[in-house]
Amino acid sequence: MSTFTDKQLIDFVYAEARMLDEQRFDEWLNLFTEDAHYWMPLAPGQQDPLLHASLLYEDKLLLRVRVERLAGTRTYSQQPRSRSHHLLQQPSIEQWDRDAGTCTLRTAFHYVETRLDAQTLYAGWATHQLVTENGALRIRLKRVDLVNCDAAFGSINLFM
């Protein structure tokens, strides 16, 4: 982690969002470590994804299943496909342990997901816990805290 600059860490977060908007889901999935999780808490300030319900708490296997479903020809709920757009505030480095090779970044965002005539706006904060693996940055945890996380939601089809 000590070999990376602040700019490289911040650019990593921007690049991840761009992959999602461009629907490069396989490439995006490869950003995650094998023990990674993608977490979207159900309550403001939620600290534990295992003892409390979450909107999403998926390991890499479940993320892979979702990516394969999105690519499937029989995924009728995605014909035509949903599209997304991330608008990110500059990520801030919240914690950086160069010796341990870990870094945590927090990014405020607005996210739009659209399909046909329906367009939904979400706002919140993404927290990335990054580690280095074989000299490359990888995501060990991506936590997405929605401003209105305790609201009733329709289907969230893509990744924020």
pLDDT-based confidence at 123, cuts 50/70/90?
A: very high
pLDDT recorded at residue 81: 81
For 17-28, the pLDDT digits (tens) are 999 999 999 999
Phi and psi torsions of 88, nearest 5°: -110, 140
Higher pLDDT among residues 81 and 109, named by residue: 109
Average pLDDT for residues 109-121, to the nearest whole number? 92
pLDDT over 70 for what percent of the chain? 96
- The reported pTM is 0.92
pLDDT of residue 78: 65
* Res. 153 pLDDT band, cuts 50 70 90: confident
Whether 1 has a pLDDT exceeding 70, the answer reads no
**Which has the higher per-residue pLDDT, 124 or 73?**
124
Domains and CATH numbers, the chain: 6-146 (3.10.450.50)
Label residue 155 by pLDDT band (50, 70, 90).
confident
What are the pLDDT digits (tens) for 61-108?
999 999 988 887 776 666 788 899 999 999 999 999 988 889 999 999
| b/e per residue 2-12 (b: at least 16 CB within 10 A) | eebeeeebbeb
Q: What is the distance between the alpha carbons of residues 65 and 70, in angstroms, rounded to a whole number?
A: 9
Q: In this model, does residue 40 exceed pLDDT 90?
A: yes
Q: How far is residue 143's CA from residue 156's CA, in Å, rounded to a whole number? A: 15
Per-residue pLDDT, averaged over 122-147, amounts to 96
152, amino acid identity: A
